[in-house]
Every structure is written in C-alpha cells, then in structure tokens.
A and B are shown apart, each in its own frame.
Chain A
Amino acid sequence: MTSSDGIAARLRDVVFSYDRGADLDTADLSADADPDDREGPVLRGLDLDVPAGSFTVVMGASGGGKSTMLRTLNAIIPDFIDGSFRGEVNVLGRDATQTRVSEMAHDAGMVLQDYESQLFGTSVEAEVAFGPENLAVPPEDIGPRIDESLSLVGLPDLDRRREPSGLSGGQKQRLVFAGVAATRPDLLVLDEPTSDLDPKGTRDIVDVVTRLSEQEGQGWSGPETIVMVTHKIEEALLADRAVLLKGGKAFRSGPLQEVFTDVEALREARVAVPPLVEAFDALGWPDEDLPLVPKTAAEQVRASDLTYTGPKNPEQAPAGTGAETGEMLFELNDVEYAYETDRGPVTAVDGVDMAVREGEVVALVGHNGSGKTTLAKHFNGLHAADAGDVTYKGRSVPDYRMSEIGREVGYVFQNPDHQIFADTVREEVAFGPENFGLEGEELDRRVDHALETVELDGLDDEDPFSFSKGQRQRVALAGILATDPEVIVFDEPTTGLDAAQQRQFMDLVGKLNREEGLTVVMVTHDMATVARYAPRTVVMQDGRVAYDRATRDLFADESLLAQYDLVAPHPTELANHVRDDDDAPALTAEELVTALGGEGVYSGGEQ
C-alpha cells in the first residue's frame, strides 16, 4: 500500500485553522503561534515526510499543532472536522484530503489519549469485533482476528464476555489497541496513548507499542509505520525518528538520536530536554555523545574521570519545597472507607495512619485503584471515614461545615472542566470565595491577587471556555487560591499539560509553598514531579500505606521501586548505577550536574 518512493505519509504546505471562515491566503503564517492563542491557523505550511517502516515520534509545545497534524493522516482533517484547510496530504498512496475517514480506516488506525471515549462495545469481544465489522470483514474471519489482537496487546486470557467498564484504565487502553489492531492498519497513529494512565498502565502500553513496532504478529505482521505524539521522554525513546513541531511547522526532523541531542532546537521548540541530555550537555559532553538512556550514561561516566558525590542536604527536595514544617495539621487514625456498589461494599482505604504538618509537600502515589484519591478526599471532608478518624488542627474533619473546611483546605480536581462554569474568568475565580461569604473590596482583592499569582491578570473578562488546557488548569487553581487556603490537595495537577506548562504550574505551586507556607498534598503519577517538589512520599497499595518516608530514600532503593511498580527519573537511575552505597542519589538533572562536579567539568575522555 506504500507509494513507490518509500514514503508512508507526505504532507506539503498544509495549512489548517479550526475557524471555518478563516481566510488562509491572508493569514499570517510566519508568526510563531502563541501556545495559548486559540485563534488563527494551527498548521502553518507544514511539510513532512514519514518514511515507510519508520516509527516517528512527534513532539512540541501545546498549540504547536501535534494532534492536528496527526488528524490529517487519517482524514479526520479535513473530512470530519470543520475548518479551513489547504495543502496536500498523501497517505499510503491515497490523497487523504479527498478520502472519507471511514475509508482511511482500512489503512490507518488511530488511538487517542482518552480511552473511555474510544470504547463502544458492551463486551470485550464486541469491542474488538467492532472495527472489522465496520470494514465488512467476513464474520468467520473476525474470530481469529479477536484472538490475534488480544494476544498482541497482552490480554489473551481476558474473559471475552466481560464488560469493558469493569477493566482497569491500562486494560481499557490495551483493549482500544486491540480494537484498532483487529483492523490490521498499515499505519498506526497514536495521540498521547499513555497520558491518562498510571505507571504500570503506561509500561503495559509501552510493551504493546514495542511489540507492534517489532512486527511480531502471527497472522498479521503489525503496522508497517507508526506515528506517535507524546510528552513523555521514556515513550519517545521507542521511536527511531523524531519530528519537532513549532508554530505549526516541522521545526526539526531526523533520526531520534540526532534530534534529541540538539539541546538548542529542543528548547526553542519548547520540548522538555531529556534530563540526561540536559545534564551531560551542562557537564561539557560534546553534542554527538549526549546519552538518552541511563545505562549508556552510566557507561560514559565510568569511562570518564568524573566521580559522583551525592547532594549535601539529601533530605531537601531539589525545588527547595516542603523544607519548613510547622504545627500539626492533619492526623489520620486507622481510616477506613468503602464504596457502595451493586455487588456490595468495596474497600478503598483500609486502615491508614498518616500525619501532615504545616508547610509540608507530600506526594501521594500508587496505582489507579490503590485508594490514593479516595484518601485525599478525606482531607476536606468530601469523604467521611467509615471507621477511624481524620482531624484537622485537632478537630474532626466531619465536624466542620463544608463552608469552614472548604476555606482552609482547597481541592484542585484533575480535570478543570469538571468545575469551570462561569462566563468570565473573574466570575469563575470569585465563585468559591463568594460561597464562603466574602464580598466587596475584600473579594476583589483576593480575586486580583489569585489571578496575578497564576499569571492570568488582565484576562478577567475573558471566557474561560476559550482558554487552553494549561490556562484552564490555572483558572481552577486561582479559584481555590482566592479562598486563601492553608492547604491545597491536588489530584493529578499536571495531566494534559505539556512539559513547559507542567513546569510553570508546579513552579507556581512550589513558590506558594516556599513563600507563603502553603501546605501541599498531591496525588500524582509523575515521578519527575514527585522527585523535584516533594521531599516526602506516601505510596498507597491496596488501600494501605506501603511507604511513608523521604522521597530520596524511596528512589534510592531499586527493590522498593520494583515492589511498588514505580520507575525513578532518569538522573536518579543513572546516579543509582554510579554512586557508592552511602551516597544519596540525585533527583534532577541539576543535582546530577552538581554531583558529578559542576558545569563544564568534563573535558574529554582521557587525561
């Protein structure tokens, strides 16, 4: 199905705007797109070749056009999404601009981030059969395809009659992959397939993608070409080619190693520089020798004359957060909580003891279903313990009225869209404080301050629904900050944000902790965030606290990490390879540079 020149997808001068009436001829295509600007073309004259047989990863800042570009590969743009389109898209020998999405589905399969929206069947079997049925595959051929696809995604023994809704997030996403694999596409398009998953789910998907790219299928040899958008460096490393998008154009493209070691290009495209690349660049290694994975990096350190000396204050978080602790805020005593379900109560929190002091930054980690979010909801009384007790400043949390505890303990939900409702940013941010009885000048002052803190001042009258995800997340945070809480509980604060936005958001949280003593409890899957900002980590397993000590000690112990299914950030993994037992591991690229002697310390192999 590939065109004769070995190119699976060829894009030429592709311009696309979500605005239906946009005049593409007069639009300014040269300007760098502002990632928070929702107007104007998203693709601005994109030229791109995806070689057949390649695994290409596409990275770039939010608003850079990554997802939009992917959607041109299976004709969703321009066939399905209304907008203004111009340009040539040739996919597997077809003119994709003149083909219906359902027609492209014969050759191109797509997996998106949100697995819930991609499951259509009421049983595992019906789900996998759905694609082949749509493509009019004869019924007798569908059975073997179901078997083949389920084993490809590592679910060969899953009960075929089981309802997908009862599966874990990772299993659901693997089922989506199976459904797409059953249509046997030549081109597989992946849009952040692991962004909504926990570390274990992510690893399972990485395995699936690896298996698909290695073409080990029995009846079918896997997709010839894969194109994937991701923010996660670990996943990007699966690919052999990389494309950086910036301002709706391909800014760099080439072999993975070449693109990912071009520190300047990565920075300019607002893509997170792989932490090892960042560290080794700072240490003075030449561009062509910058390592991507800890194992290679460790070999390079051993071959050099550098020695590793652990951080001087290992009890501190690299971001300097959570350092000052004051009075006792929360005390949890043998807390139990069960959900009522049709099949009887299901225990989510099973005997948790825990304490949080003022000024702490505590990370709450564990698998989906380990009970961490359920536990977090006890801090502001959204859940009341079935047994045991939760106290805030010595008083039982359920004894507070919501209007009392809500002012002191803010809760930022994972998805800002679950709370944004007002017409203007100001109205949205004022909602909480108004409910808590604030009015007049005091209210205005609080709202102004909160908007300034999240850097949205001046946008008071804008419609929050028109904002980017990063901005909406900040509106939600401002709505909590405006009540001037002492504690904020974050549930997955950085999901859906790109590297730059994540850093901006977490630095903001860190600043509030350092400067205003804000106490932070954060539920997260992102180990880089845990490492940088939280000096203390609580690991939940099956509703119980499995670990509650220093983050650095957790990341120093590979056997503990394996036991909890966690993966340390790359700089830590490298440090664990090269350090002495009594040295503490570095948690970030910056700490790694210091531990190995500082910037520019490397001056070539042998001396």
Chain B
Amino acid sequence: MSDSTSLYVDGDSLLHRLDPRSKLALSLALFVPAYVFGRPEYIAIPLVVAFAGLLAGGGWRNLKRIWFILVALFVVGLVLWPNFVEPSGPTLVDAGPILLTLDQLLFALGRSLRIATFVVTGLAYISTTANEELVRGMRGLGIPYAFCFAVGTALRLFPTFLGAAGTVRQAQEARGLDLSASNPIERIRNFVPLLIPVFMTAFRNVETQSMALEARGFDTRRERTFYRESAFAVRDWAAVALAVAVVVGAVALSSTGVGTF
C-alpha cells in the first residue's frame, strides 16, 4: 500500500516537451549565473526562475517531499558562511562573541541562495524528465548507454528501496527493536537489524532484476532502436540559444565585477 511513485511527474508542459538535452542547457543557464555571481539579489533571479520552472512543470509534489532538506541546507549555510568571511561593512549584531556585519550576511545569503538554486533546478529537471528521456538525453551527449541506463534504473528503484525499508522497520519493531535509544552507540547498533535485511533484500532484487533485464533482450553491446526518438525541434534550438546567451552574458558581466563582492 505504499505510494511509491518516482520523482518524475507526468505532464505536458513546455518543459516536458523540450528535449532532455536542451533542458540540460537551460539548467546550465541557471547553474552558471548562480555560480559566477555572488550577491544575493543577482542569485535570486535564477532561483526565482528555477522555482517558476518547477511549478510550471508540476513539481510541487516533489518540492513538498524535500522541503525540509532545502530549508535545512539554506539555514545551515546562512549560519556557517559568516564565519568564513572577514567582517566588513556596517555591523548588524554585536553581542560578545557573536559579531555579524551586513557584508557577512549578504555573502552568506548569496551562498545559501546558490545551493537552493542548484537543488531546485535539479528537481525541476528530474520532475519534468522521464527516466527514459533522461537516459536518451545522456546518451545523446555521447555518454555510454550502460551508464545512462544504470543512472535511470537507480532513480526508478529508489522509491521501491524506501518501501522495503519501511516494511523491515515494522517487522523489527514488532519484535521489540527500539530505535529511540538515548545512547548514541546503542542507537547505531540498533540499526544493524534494519540495514542487513534491507540490503539483502535489495541485493536479491538486483539479481532477479538483471536476469529479467537480459531475458528481455537488454544488451549494451548490441544495436538497439528507440521508440519515440524525438528530433531536436525549433523550440529546442531556441532554448539552447537562450541558454548560451544567458551563460555568456552572466560570465561576461561577472568578470567585470558586476554582482560579485
């Protein structure tokens, strides 16, 4: 009864219709500005665009899944980064050992926004790209098919793996396993009865799976065809052109000092 759906959200948005390769180019057009600029107001732009893309592609459901991780990354960055920067600019907080200046805050904010941009962009990509598309896109970039297929399968299997872990946990809790022990060593030890069955089950599954795979004629050494191999459309060329312009523009601007510290 577990609801083990993959991260891909089926839909018909523009992002869904784009070729996985042109989508990759668009992702780079968000990654690069987020990386080359440092000031938060500049990085906020790719982040907002990434969010818009995620929502337009129907990825809201996935955002809900990883919301916690995103916030945690953001907050941890905001707290840690000021310690790595020389304090300069107007002082915001000065309470004994704690000193925070405006520049420190802006720098940390920029770094946290950067991480968030990476995560949200990646999520938007995976939410709008089916595994088969992903594999096809990677292969289109000249990556060996066997590797592409392995990545696609790993993504697909992840929810199944989580489902098995849930069952194992219930089975052991029913036998009195207490996962809330206070002693940290005890706590780690208590995970052994969970991890071993989860990995053994996964291992057995992988064996059956690879057997079933070959029985269906899967062979990385042989020629294969692709049903629904989409050609690069006009919109894909447009997307790539846009991406190139953004990347070139961002690199040029930042090299003149705009948007950086």
Interface residues, chain A, with chain B CB atoms under 8 Å away: 71, 74, 76, 80-81, 100-103, 105-106, 108-110, 112, 114, 116-118, 120-123, 125-126, 129-139, 142-143, 161-163, 165-166, 179-180, 183, 339, 341-343, 346, 348, 369, 373-374, 377, 380, 382, 402-403, 406-407, 410-411, 413, 415, 417-421, 431-432, 434-436, 465, 479-480, 483
Contact = CB atoms under 8 A, between A and B. Distances in A.
Contacts of A139: 225-229
A403 B216 contact: no
A310 B7 CA distance: 57
A342 B171 CA distance: 24
A106 B205 contact: no
A348 B172 contact: no
Contacts of A125: 227-228
A418 B167 contact: yes
24 contacts: A102-B218, A112-B212, A123-B130, A126-B130, A126-B132, A126-B227, A130-B218, A132-B227, A133-B226, A133-B227, A135-B224, A136-B224, A139-B226, A163-B5, A339-B2, A343-B3, A382-B174, A406-B175, A417-B197, A417-B201, A421-B192, A432-B176, A435-B176, A436-B176
B31 interface: no
A164 B131 CA distance: 13
Contact of A116 (B10, B205, B225): B205
B208 A122 contact: no
A235 B3 CA distance: 31
Given A138-B225, A142-B225, A417-B200, A131 B217 contact: yes
A40 to B, nearest CB: 21
B196 A421 contact: yes
A341 B3 CA distance: 6
A122 B224 contact: no
B223 interface: yes
A339 B205 CA distance: 26
A112 B213 CA distance: 11
A101 B215 contact: yes
Contacts of B259: none
Contact of B5 (A114, A166, A407, A435): A166
A257 to B, nearest CB: 32
A406 B172 CA distance: 10
B173 interface: yes
Interface residues of B, number: 58
Contact of A117 (B10, B178, B208): B208
B61 interface: yes
A436 B209 CA distance: 38
Contacts of A339: 1-3
Contact of B227 (A129, A161, A380, A420): A129
A71 to B, nearest CB: 8
B160 interface: yes
A402 B176 contact: yes
A419 B168 contact: yes
A80 B212 CA distance: 11
Contacts of B219: 100, 102-103, 134
B77 interface: no
B217 A105 contact: yes
8 cross-chain pairs, A with B, having the tightest CB-CB distances, nearest first: A435-B176, A105-B217, A102-B219, A134-B217, A421-B196, A341-B3, A432-B175, A101-B214
B208 A74 contact: no
Given A117-B209, A136-B222, A419-B168, A123 B10 contact: yes
B216 A180 contact: yes
